[in-house]
Chains A and B, each alone.
Chain A
Amino acid sequence: MNEIKKQTNFEINQVISQPYKYGFKTDIEREGFPVGINENIIRLISEKKKEPTFLLNYRLKAYKKWLQMKTPQWANLEINPINYQDITYYSVPKQKEKLNSLNEVDPEILKTFEKLGISLDEQKKLSNVAIDAVFDSVSIATTFKEKLGKSGVIFCSISEAIEEYPELIKKFLGSVVSAGDNFFASLNSAVFSDGSFCYVPKNVICPLELSTYFRINDKDAGQFERTLIIAEKNSTVNYLEGCTAPQYSENQLHAAIVELIAFENAKIKYSTVQNWYSGDEKGVGGIYNFVTKRGLCIGKNSNISWTQVETGSSITWKYPSCILLGQGSSGEFYSVALTNYYQQADTGTKMIHLGKETKSKIISKGISCGFSKNAYRGLVKIGSNASYSRNYSQCDSFLLGASSVASTYPYLDIWNSTAIVEHEATVSKISEEQLFYLLQRGINTEQAISLMISGFCKDVFTMLPMEFASEADKLLALKLEGTVG
């Protein structure tokens, strides 16, 4: 290699070596449970949260199912065995039982969120986003509740919803992802601690973007959050989710469930920027991100749209899906997954067409660097009653460096001959000629690669809300690694 080439490779490697900037931890007195999982722990969680009996029974039922299940092995992932008795299932910062205002929140925690760029002080923050901040197992604060309340929108932590709106919880919790859905979903159903709840009534267009920020702080705690969003007839809601965690050399488990329900003509747009700690350059540490996300388009012409930018976590196992039941309903999945070092991602979607004239669209962009593995796994199912349904799928992979792996596993399951299903897939690399062209115009290596990657991801980034789009762009620029040619 000559000097310039060495220099270029060096610079590309520099682009990546940016350390994880959210890796700090907050030292705080916390109230944890004994480690491990058993019926007693589940009863304790439920009691701690003053839950009604139906919920305790739901948890216990899920736990029993979970005990009979095995870790799924079908994904293209190498997972070190997880000892579920080493995990703390409930960990909350020590504080007063009930917080009346932000002033009562531990200043250390507020500082943590400030450091993450999430201000919970309503005076200072983005004026068009309401935020629910979740720290380990508990929701710390939800902003703009009053303003939302005026339009009838309920946005609060799921714990609060269980206390205040038990009838909604009883009706909808577990109605999309059942307690026995899969191994990690059952575990979540048994031990979920907190998360966000949102209810948008009939004919209401939610006046603010809703957002939850998840932070895992505790070293031994798993985060098992639960999100439930219900959009009634003719309503619309946009929801954003962000995640970070400190840098620990142990793996931490994150097994969440998100359920969305859209009634007639309702629209739910759910966007995620996932930046959990991904482990170090040797693959030590990082979050195991095993998440079940599913939306049910129950009403006619309803719409659910998932957009995700997955850059963090040591292992990601996640398939945000849509069940298209209502006639003419539609589902979308836009995804960018970037893996670096020894990260592994097996992610994609399931589009289950059950109603007539249902439509779905899948755009997936995978970027693999270092020794990482990045797989797209997607199922398009057209049921026998789903006449004249359509799907379009496009899966593009981008390889940076020669040691990474990208795979695509598209599954089709078609039971109706009037369906139209299209699938396109490409694999590309940054060519030396492209890079040289940009360099010749005075654009440096770092910028050139960012430019090409953001060009590659453009179809997905344009689906993100403004506040997230530039953030996602920056995030990718920070995480890039690779060698050219």
Chain B
Amino acid sequence: MNNILLNVDKLSAKIENTEILKKFSLEIRENEIHVIMGPNGCGKSTFSKILAGHPSYEINSGDIFFDGKNLLELSPENRSHAGIFLAFQYPVEIAGVTNFDFLRIAYNEKQKYEKKEELDPLEFMEITQNFLKKLKMKAEFLNRNLNEGFSGGEKKRNEILQMLLLNPKLVILDEIDSGLDIDALKIICDGIINNLAKGASLVVITHYPRMLTYLKPTHVHIMIDGQIIKTGNQELVEILEQDGYDAFTN
């Protein structure tokens, strides 16, 4: 059996005074693809933000261990360095900051953390160009301001470009398929699957089974009201398609 990568143990968390996660548990080993499906407001996105260390959520109880580290003790940037990558549902725009500068700073921060040499703009351009090709992105994309005026598809591609550059161990895709056409979805899924680091795993949060035909999950979880209530394989998706979430609550 593969090594355990992520272990979430009875995690309860709230925002302001609303409890969102209720003794949520999940174990992910290396080389696995986990899908979390659930109705709106069940806490899927909250879970992904808590993993990444979003400051708005408060942890009441429970633990998260990631790659041998107590994740809750790490700052958001150190969680990133440790190998957590969250592909955002709504990537933010930042005025005046070019995509290129942003990518290079993020890349070099990781290099610094791993005590590797930082790259100058020319060296960085070289490695980036490779990834751009894989994602069928044009180089002019780098000169634009971060996510500013990007179409929905461009924003998502840019998320995956960042993933390729940072080479994470655990990738969380938070509804990355929303607002994408079929071609773009296929390019993005191929880009992810073909470029994951050795031993890396995926957490896919989605409402739509289409993405799963490209990603081929090893585990499917049904999440309702802050908890995972059922875990299985692709068959769960078929039940869900037929009967909706009622099939699991009744």
Q: What is the interface of chain A, defined by CB distance below 8 A to chain B?
A: 2, 4-5, 7-8, 428, 431-434, 436-445, 447, 451-452, 454-459
- CA of A4 to CA of B238 in the docked complex: distance in angstroms? 40
Chain B residue nearest to A439 in the complex (CB): B76
Q: Which of A8, A444, A451, A456 contacts B102 (CB 8 A)?
A: A451
**Given A4-B75, A4-B76, A442-B80, are A433 and B55 also a contact pair (CB < 8 Å)?**
no
Q: Which of B92, B96, B113, B145 contacts A442 (CB 8 A)?
A: B113
**Given A4-B76, A7-B75, A440-B86, are A432 and B56 also a contact pair (CB < 8 Å)?**
yes
Contact call B105/A436, Cβ cutoff below 8 A: no
- CA of A452 to CA of B94 in the docked complex: distance in angstroms? 7
Contact call B54/A442, Cβ cutoff below 8 A: no
Q: Encode B99-121 as 1/0 by CB contact (under 8 A) with A.
A: 00110011001100100000000
Contact call A439/B53, Cβ cutoff below 8 A: yes
- CA of A436 to CA of B95 in the docked complex: distance in angstroms? 16
Q: Encode B57-72 as 1/0 by CB contact (under 8 A) with A.
A: 1110000000000000
Q: Encode B157-168 as 1/0 by CB contact (under 8 A) with A.
A: 000001000100
Contact call B56/A447, Cβ cutoff below 8 A: no
Q: Is B88 an interface residue (CB 8 A)?
A: yes
Chain A residue nearest to B95 in the complex (CB): A455
**Given A433-B92, A434-B92, A456-B96, are A439 and B77 also a contact pair (CB < 8 Å)?**
yes
Contact call A456/B95, Cβ cutoff below 8 A: yes
- CA of A431 to CA of B79 in the docked complex: distance in angstroms? 21
Choose among B76, B95, B109, B110 the residue with the greatest number of A CB atoms under 10 Å from its CB: B76
Taking CB atoms, residues of chain B closer than 8 Å to A443 are: 77, 105-106, 109
Taking CB atoms, residues of chain B closer than 8 Å to A4 are: 53-55, 75-76
Contact call A455/B96, Cβ cutoff below 8 A: yes
- CA of A101 to CA of B96 in the docked complex: distance in angstroms? 46
Taking CB atoms, residues of chain A closer than 8 Å to B58 are: 2
Taking CB atoms, residues of chain B closer than 8 Å to A447 are: 105, 109
Contact call B105/A451, Cβ cutoff below 8 A: yes
Q: Is B97 an interface residue (CB 8 A)?
A: yes
Q: Is B81 an interface residue (CB 8 A)?
A: yes
Taking CB atoms, residues of chain A closer than 8 Å to B53 are: 4, 439-440
Taking CB atoms, residues of chain A closer than 8 Å to B162 are: 441
- CA of A455 to CA of B105 in the docked complex: distance in angstroms? 14
Taking CB atoms, residues of chain A closer than 8 Å to B91 are: 437
- CA of A433 to CA of B94 in the docked complex: distance in angstroms? 11
Q: Is B52 an interface residue (CB 8 A)?
A: yes
29 A-B contact pairs sorted by A residue (CB < 8 Å): A2-B57, A2-B58, A4-B53, A8-B55, A428-B95, A432-B56, A433-B92, A436-B52, A437-B88, A437-B94, A439-B53, A439-B75, A440-B53, A440-B77, A441-B109, A441-B162, A442-B109, A442-B110, A443-B77, A444-B109, A447-B105, A451-B105, A452-B97, A454-B96, A454-B97, A455-B95, A455-B97, A455-B145, A457-B96
Contact call B55/A441, Cβ cutoff below 8 A: no
Taking CB atoms, residues of chain B closer than 8 Å to A444 are: 75, 77, 109
Q: Which of A433, A442, A458 contacts B106 (CB 8 A)?
A: A442
**Given A2-B57, A451-B105, are A442 and B166 also a contact pair (CB < 8 Å)?**
yes
Beyond A432-B55, A443-B77, 4 additional contacts (C-beta under 8 Å) are: A4-B55, A5-B55, A436-B52, A437-B91
- CA of A442 to CA of B109 in the docked complex: distance in angstroms? 6
Taking CB atoms, residues of chain B closer than 8 Å to A433 are: 92
Taking CB atoms, residues of chain B closer than 8 Å to A436 are: 52, 54-55, 76
- CA of A440 to CA of B48 in the docked complex: distance in angstroms? 11
Choose among B52, B54, B58, B96 the residue with the greatest number of A CB atoms under 10 Å from its CB: B96
Chain A residue nearest to B86 in the complex (CB): A440
- CA of A445 to CA of B53 in the docked complex: distance in angstroms? 13
- CA of A246 to CA of B53 in the docked complex: distance in angstroms? 42
- CA of A440 to CA of B101 in the docked complex: distance in angstroms? 16
Taking CB atoms, residues of chain B closer than 8 Å to A437 are: 88, 91-92, 94
| 6 cross-chain pairs, A with B, having the tightest CB-CB distances, nearest first | A455-B96, A455-B97, A442-B80, A439-B76, A458-B96, A5-B55
CB of B85 to closest CB in A, whole Å:
8
Q: Encode B194-235 as 1/0 by CB contact (under 8 A) with A.
A: 000000000000000000000000000000000000000000
**Given A2-B57, A436-B54, A436-B55, are A441 and B96 also a contact pair (CB < 8 Å)?**
no
- CA of A441 to CA of B147 in the docked complex: distance in angstroms? 14
Chain B residue nearest to A9 in the complex (CB): B55
CB of B182 to closest CB in A, whole Å:
27
- CA of A2 to CA of B13 in the docked complex: distance in angstroms? 11
Contact call A441/B106, Cβ cutoff below 8 A: yes
Q: Which of B57, B59, B76 contacts A440 (CB 8 A)?
A: B76
- CA of A320 to CA of B88 in the docked complex: distance in angstroms? 44
Choose among A441, A445, A447 the residue with the greatest number of B CB atoms under 10 Å from its CB: A441
Taking CB atoms, residues of chain A closer than 8 Å to B95 are: 428, 455-456
CB of B19 to closest CB in A, whole Å:
14
